[in-house]
């Protein structure tokens, strides 16, 4: 059975999607684990990055799914929206690809279960059960909002990794997100396995006194024991991956991959 990890924050632009993609890629490419990345954000940034990554690995590759994620949900067959990104004998990275029509998911679920929110969340859990069982790890990227999509992701997860950037809004979003996990997803929706794994820090400017002050506040609010040791510093290569997809051969590629290999090692140590 897969270990399911949602990576999130209620503030956008904090490195959440980058971390989701990089951790999923590391699990498959470096650690040779059968991994699925589920992109539940209709903006589809994780999908775009991984499809470009697939083309980097094979320029002639087919990067189209049989159906959009919304259509696959309606057909109750998520394999229709699955795309293989990386395959090398025993290790795989698959993508459950999002697309623009996934904005219709909430409306579709409201029509399907008009007066039962719990049934909407449970429907997603039932729909993903067989697919998730095929993997060692499932990484879920969600929109930075309180929404049905976020609730569905957290409900099926074993763990949540919160990503916090050295900005006040990011810290506030991380704190609110942690409270939401406990007060709503665990206490009210009764998520069966969900637990907090750790917080990952993303440093924007290590020379900035403001960034350092926020870093200190993160330590104070969450406790050092709940924070991964590795700090992801601002790296132009990571920013470039959003445009080009992940590349692996250059010096700065290896540097970026090494950072997230350390992050993944620390995360796995927490949840073993």
Residue 90 has a pLDDT of: 56
Percent of the chain with pLDDT over 70: 99
Given a cut of 60, is residue 66 above it in pLDDT? yes
Residue that wins the pLDDT comparison between 1 and 74: 74
**Which residue's entry shows tokens 């951790």?**
23
Rg value, the chain, Cα: 18
Given a cut of 60, is residue 224 above it in pLDDT? yes
Residue that wins the pLDDT comparison between 132 and 88: 132
Residue 89 has a pLDDT of: 52
Given a cut of 90, is residue 132 above it in pLDDT? yes
Q: What pTM was estimated for this model as a whole?
A: 0.96
Average the pLDDT over 196-203 and give the result. 95
Average the pLDDT over 68-73 and give the result. 93
Average the pLDDT over 34-55 and give the result. 95
**Which residue's entry shows tokens 């698959």?**
94
Tell me the two tokens of residue 241: 């991956």
Q: How many CB atoms lie within 10 A of CB 158?
A: 19
Average the pLDDT over 230-248 and give the result. 93
Q: What is the C-alpha to C-alpha distance for residues 234 and 105, in angstroms, rounded to an integer? A: 34
Given a cut of 80, is residue 259 above it in pLDDT? yes
On whether the CB atoms of residues 148 and 105 are closer than 8 A, the answer is yes
Residue 64 has a pLDDT of: 87
* Res. 194 pLDDT band, cuts 50 70 90: very high
Half-sphere exposure of 34 (CA within 13 A, CB side): 10
Percent of the chain with pLDDT over 90: 85
Sequence-distant (≥ 6) Cβ neighbours of residue 176 within 8 angstroms:
10
Q: In the predicted model, what is the mean pLDDT of the chain?
A: 94
Residue 137, Cα to own-chain centre: how many angstroms? 11
Q: What is the C-alpha to C-alpha distance for residues 135 and 1, in angstroms, rounded to an integer? A: 7
Instruction: Using alpha carbons, list the distances in angstroms from residue 55 to 2, 94, 111, 141, 257.
Output: 27, 14, 38, 21, 18
DSSP assignments along 240-268, one per residue: HHHHH----SSHHHHHHHHHHHHHHHHHH
CATH class for the domain made up of 3-267: alpha beta
Given a cut of 80, is residue 88 above it in pLDDT? no
156-174: pLDDT as tens digits: 999 999 999 999 999 999 9
Closest by Cα among 93, 94, 96, 95 to 27:
93
């Amino acid at each position: 059975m897969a270990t399911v990890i949602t990576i999130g924050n209620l503030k956008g632009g904090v490195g959440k999607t980058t971390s989701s993609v990089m951790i999923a890629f590391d699990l498959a490419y470096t650690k040779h684990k059968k991994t699925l990345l589920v992109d539940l954000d209709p903006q589809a940034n994780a999908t775009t990055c991984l499809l470009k990554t697939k083309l980097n690995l094979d320029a002639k590759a087919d990067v189209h799914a049989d159906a959009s994620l919304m259509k696959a949900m309606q057909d109750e067959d998520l394999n229709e929206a699955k795309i293989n990104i990386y395959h090398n004998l025993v290790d795989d990275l698959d993508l459950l690809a999002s697309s623009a029509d996934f904005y219709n998911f909430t409306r579709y679920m409201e029509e399907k279960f008009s007066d039962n929110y719990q049934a909407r969340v449970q429907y997603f859990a039932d729909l993903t059960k067989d697919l998730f069982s095929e993997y060692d790890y499932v990484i879920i990227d969600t929109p930075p909002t309180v929404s049905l999509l976020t609730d569905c992701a957290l409900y099926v997860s074993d763990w949540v990794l919160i990503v916090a950037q050295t900005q006040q809004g990011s810290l506030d979003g991380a704190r609110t997100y942690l409270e939401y996990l406990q007060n709503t997803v665990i206490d009210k929706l009764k998520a069966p396995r969900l637990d907090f794994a750790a917080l990952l820090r993303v440093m924007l400017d290590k020379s900035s006194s403001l960034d350092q002050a926020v870093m200190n506040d993160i330590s104070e609010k969450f406790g050092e024991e709940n924070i991964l040791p590795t700090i992801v510093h601002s790296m132009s290569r990571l920013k470039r991956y959003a445009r080009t997809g992940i590349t692996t051969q250059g010096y700065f590629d290896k540097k970026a991959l090494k950072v997230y290999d350390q992050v993944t090692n620390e995360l796995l140590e927490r949840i073993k």
